[in-house]
Amino acid sequence: MQDKYLGLTPPMGWNSWNTFTWNINEALIRETADAMVSSGLKDAGYQYVVIDDCWSLKQRDQNGCLVADPEKFPNGMKAVADYVHSKGLKFGMYSCDGTHTCAGYPGSFEHEFQDAETFASWGVDYLKYDNCYKPRHMEGEMLYKRMSLALRNCGRDILFSACNWGADGVHGWIQGSGAQLFRSTGDIQDNWESIKNLALSQMDKMAYSGPYCHNDIDMLVVGMHGGSNNEFIGTLGGCTDEEYRTHFSLWAIMNSPLMIGCDIRSMSSITRETLTNPDIIAINQDMECRGPYVVPGNDPAAMMSLVKPMGDGSLAIGMFNLGDKKGELSLQFWDMGIPAAAGMGLELYDCWARKTEGVFDQRYAAQIEPHGCRMFRAKLVKVR
C-alpha cells in the first residue's frame, strides 16, 4: 500500500444498494458521479462511488475471471472507473467471501487473488466484501484475512470494507485482518425502528473502532423517504427529515462510515443540507477517531448522551431521544470529568443551528422531541 492515510478516518461516499439494488447500470453510475460534484457532496468530503451487488454476469469467463454484465455496463468497468476518476472521485465495487454473492452472482471464494488483480486492473479504489454463501465449515476470519492479503498485494491501494454483519466474533479479530471497515450489524431498513435498533446494538462495541479500522453500522438511509425498489429496505415507508437528521448524527458521532444510500440526483434541499453539514461531518472525520462513551439519561432505554473526545481538546456531544415522547435530557458535566470545584464549564456550539448556544456550568438540560437530537461541539472554559 502506498497511501499511508487510506482508511485513517471513516470513508464517505455513495453506494447503489439501498435505493437501486439490482437495477444498476453505467448511466446511473455516471449520473451519480456528476451529481456528487454538482450537489456539493464532493466538496463536503464524499469521495467514493460504489457499485453494490448484481453488476456481473452469472458465470466467470473461460479463464475464471469475473465479467461485467455487458447489458448493464457496455463499456466495461474500467471505463466506468475512469469516468468516476475524471470527476475527482474514487470508484468502488462489490464481491463476497462465499461461492456466490447475496444475489446469486459469482463470489470470490478461492478466487481472491485473481479477483483482487482484476479489480486493480479496472481501477477500483474500494471493495465491499459481503458474507453470503460462505462454505459452512470455513471460518469467516480466514476468508477476510485472505482477501485482505490479496488486496494489499494487488498493486493498487484498495480500501477493504469487510461486510460480515457482526458474525464470527468479528470485533475480536478484525484489526489483525487488515480491513479498514467491518460491518457490525445486519442490513439497515428505511424506517426509524431499524435506525434505533442498529444504533442501540452498538453501544457496547464503540471501543473496538479506531483509526484505520472502523465499525460500520451500515449505509445511510437519509433522504430515501421509502424510495427503495427493495421491499425489505423500504418496509414502513421511510422516515421524517428529523429522524434522518438524528440518524446522520448518530452515525457521525459513532464513527461509522458515511455512505449515502438515497438517489442523490433528485435529493431534496433538506437532505442535501443534512448530508453536507460541515460541523457534523467534522465530528465524524476527526483524525483521532475516538469512540464516544454513553452518559445515560433518566430513561436509559430512550434518552442518552454520547460524548466523543476530539483531537483539539474539545468534546463532541450528541443528546438523543430515541423514545416516542418528548422529554428532558440533563447532562451532568461531572460525568464528563468536569468537577464543580474545578471552576470550569462548557461553551456549547450547536452543530445543527450552527451558532453558539452559550456557556454552561455543571450541567446542560434540553427538551428533545421524540426521535430527535441535539448535537454540540463543546469547549472547556473558565467560569469562575
The residues annotated with a catalytic role in the active site are: 130, 187
Q: What are phi and psi of 26, to 5 degrees?
A: -60, -40
What is the dihedral sign for C-alpha 134, 137, 140, 144?
A: negative
The answer to whether 231 touches 21, Cβ cutoff 8 Å, is no
Closest-CA residue to 285 (of 41, 89, 45, 50): 45
The HSE-up count of residue 193 (CA atoms within 13 Å, CB side) is: 5
- Burial of 94-117, coded b for 16+ CB within 10 Å and e otherwise, reads bbbbbebbbbebbbbbebbbbbbb
Radius of gyration of the chain (CA): 21
Give the separation between CA 139 and CA 129, rounded to whole angstroms: 15
Report how far apart the first and last C-alpha atoms of the chain are (Å, whole number).
51
Return all residues near 31 (Cβ < 8 A) that are at least 6 apart: 265
Please state whether beta strands 363-368 and 315-321 pair in parallel, antiparallel, or not at all (unpaired).
unpaired
Q: Kindly report the number of other CB atoms within 10 A of residue 75's CB atom.
A: 13
Alpha helices per DSSP H over the chain: 17-20, 26-38, 41-44, 76-86, 112-122, 140-152, 174-177, 192-201, 241-253, 269-275, 278-284
Give the separation between CA 163 and CA 150, rounded to whole angstroms: 17
Extended beta strands in the chain, E state: 12-15, 48-50, 90-96, 126-130, 159-162, 181-183, 214-216, 258-260, 293-296, 303-309, 315-321, 327-332, 344-350, 355-360, 363-368, 373-382
Hunting for cell 498493486 — which residue is that? 155
Give the separation between CA 347 and CA 77, rounded to whole angstroms: 50
